[in-house]
Amino acid sequence: MISAAQCRAARALIEWSREQLSEASGIDVDVIRDFEYRTRQPGDPVRQQLQEALEQAGAVFLAENGAGEGVRLKFNRRAVQAIRRWETEGGTAGEDDV
């Protein structure tokens, strides 16, 4: 289960605001803020929802392994930029005559 520090770090890596995480996870912004500031410890279901939303956005959580817990990107920066570019290209879908 993710920690407050991992939540903050994952948001920074994928460049999401608390509002974006709230929208993706269905968790209230105030709950996320309080969790990250460590003024409130949400239950496991809330932390699981946050983790799943962040993982779907490209974060990978590293468990405590003697060197400390962590978070990294699923893809390198170049791949993430390409994916974001593809997602924003828009346009109409072409027809497939096959």
**Global pTM value:** 0.73
pLDDT at res. 65 = 73
Q: How many domains does the chain have?
A: 1
Supply the range of the domain harboring residue 75.
Answer: 4-86
Q: What is the pLDDT of residue 95?
A: 64
Cα dihedral 85→51→74→71 (10° resolution) = 120
Q: How far apart are the first and last CA of the chain?
A: 46
Task: Give the model's pLDDT for residue 78.
Answer: 75
> Torsion angle of alpha carbons 26, 36, 61, 27, nearest 10°?
-10
Q: For the chain, 98 residues long, give each residue's pLDDT as a single digit of tens.
A: 899 999 999 999 999 999 999 999 999 999 999 999 999 999 999 999 999 999 999 899 988 776 678 888 886 667 767 777 877 777 665 565 65
Residue 31 sits in a domain whose CATH number is 1.10.260.40
